[in-house]
C-alpha cells in the first residue's frame, strides 16, 4: 500500500479545529517542521497539543503559537519560548507540565493500550495535586493516565512507501512512541525509499502504525541555541 502524499499540505488536509495532536521532537531535533508549516498555512484553531516542548520563538511549534492556533498544551519543557510564557501568564493558553519520563511513559502507554500506570515521579510535589496516590513497598506512587491523540505529526530520517521508518540518533526521542499513540500518524521523511530497501531488523516503527508519509523538504535542521566564544 502506497502511503505517500504529494505534499505536506495534502497530508494535513483533514486536521480540524479542536483536534488533539502529538508532535515529535526534542528541542528542535526531530521536529516535523514542514508538517507544522503546512498546518500553520491551513490556519486551524483551538488545537490541543502534546509535545515535549514548544520549539522556540519563530521556529517549529513557536510558529503555531504566533498564529494563535493552540488552546491547550501538555508537555515537559517550555523554557525556550517567551511567547508561551506570556500566553500562559495572561490566561490565554492552558498549560499542563508533566515530568519528562512520565510524559514519555504516558504516550507509550497510550500506544500499548495501557489505560493508566503508577509512578513515583512527582509524589510529594505540585505534580501530585488531584491525583490518586498509593503506597507500594513503603514508597508513594501516583496514578498517571495514558495519552492518545487524533493525529501525530512526526519526523523520521528514512521511510518507505509503506510507512516503515528509521530514525537517526537523537531524533528518535518522542517520535517512535507517538507513532503508535495516535489515530492517524503523519510522518515527514528525509529520505524516501522503496519497500524492501530498509532491512527488516533496521525498522524502528513498522508501517502498520503509519497512515501518511511525505518528503521532508526543505529540511533545515535548526540549532536551538548557538554559543560563540
Nearest one of 64, 104, 98 to 84, comparing CA atoms: 64
Least confident of 37-41, 64-68, 86-90, 207-211: 86-90
Rounded Cα distance, 41 and 53, in Å: 21
Rounded Cα distance, 20 and 100, in Å: 19
Q: Which grid coordinates belong to 94?
A: 492552558
β-partners of residue 149 are 182
Q: Which grid coordinates belong to 203?
A: 525498522
Average pLDDT over residues 37-49: 96
Superfamily in which the 8-115+146-215 domain is placed by CATH: Glutaconate Coenzyme A-transferase (3.40.1080.10)
Q: Which grid coordinates belong to 170?
A: 537523537
pTM metric for this prediction: 0.92
- Give the per-residue pLDDT at 224: 66
Average pLDDT over residues 38-51: 96
Q: Tell me the pLDDT tens digit for each residue of 200-226.
A: 999 999 999 999 999 987 777 776 666
Rounded Cα distance, 225 and 64, in Å: 20
- C-beta of residue 210 within 8 angstroms of C-beta of residue 179: yes
Q: Tell me the pLDDT tens digit for each residue of 52-61.
A: 988 888 888 9
Q: Tell me the pLDDT tens digit for each residue of 70-126.
A: 999 999 988 778 888 888 889 999 999 999 999 999 999 999 999 999 999 999 999
- Give the per-residue pLDDT at 40: 96
Give 222 or 186, the one with higher predicted confidence.
186
Amino acid at each position: 500500500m502506497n502511503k505517500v502524499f504529494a505534499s505536506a499540505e495534502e497530508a494535513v488536509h483533514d486536521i480540524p479545529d479542536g483536534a488533539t495532536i502529538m508532535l515529535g521532537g526534542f528541542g528542535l531535533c526531530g521536529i516535523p517542521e514542514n508538517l507544522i508549516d503546512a498546518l500553520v498555512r491551513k490556519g486551524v484553531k483551538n488545537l490541543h497539543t502534546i509535545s515535549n516542548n514548544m520549539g522556540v520563538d519563530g521556529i517549529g511549534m513557536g510558529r503555531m503559537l504566533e498564529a494563535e492556533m493552540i488552546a491547550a498544551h501538555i508537555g515537559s519543557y517550555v523554557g525556550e519560548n517567551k511567547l508561551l510564557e506570556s500566553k500562559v501568564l495572561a490566561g490565554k493558553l492552558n498549560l499542563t507540565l508533566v515530568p519528562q519520563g512520565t510524559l514519555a511513559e504516558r504516550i507509550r502507554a497510550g500506544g500499548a493500550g495501557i489505560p493508566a500506570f503508577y509512578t513515583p515521579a512527582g509524589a510529594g510535589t505540585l505534580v501530585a495535586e488531584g491525583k490518586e496516590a498509593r503506597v507500594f513497598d513503603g514508597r508513594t506512587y501516583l496514578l498517571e493516565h495514558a495519552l492518545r491523540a487524533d493525529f501525530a505529526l512526526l519526523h523520521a530520517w528514512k521511510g518507505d512507501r509503506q510507512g516503515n521508518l528509521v530514525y537517526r540518533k537523537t531524533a528518535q526521542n518522542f517520535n517512535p512512541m507517538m507513532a503508535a499513540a495516535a489515530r492517524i500518524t503523519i510522518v515527514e521523511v528525509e529520505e524516501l525509499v522503496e519497500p524492501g530497501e530498509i532491512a527488516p531488523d533496521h525498522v524502528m516503527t513498522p508501517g502498520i502504525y503509519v497512515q501518511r508519509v511525505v518528503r521532508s523538504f526543505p529540511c533545515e535542521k535548526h540549532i536551538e541555541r548557538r554559543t560563540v566564544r
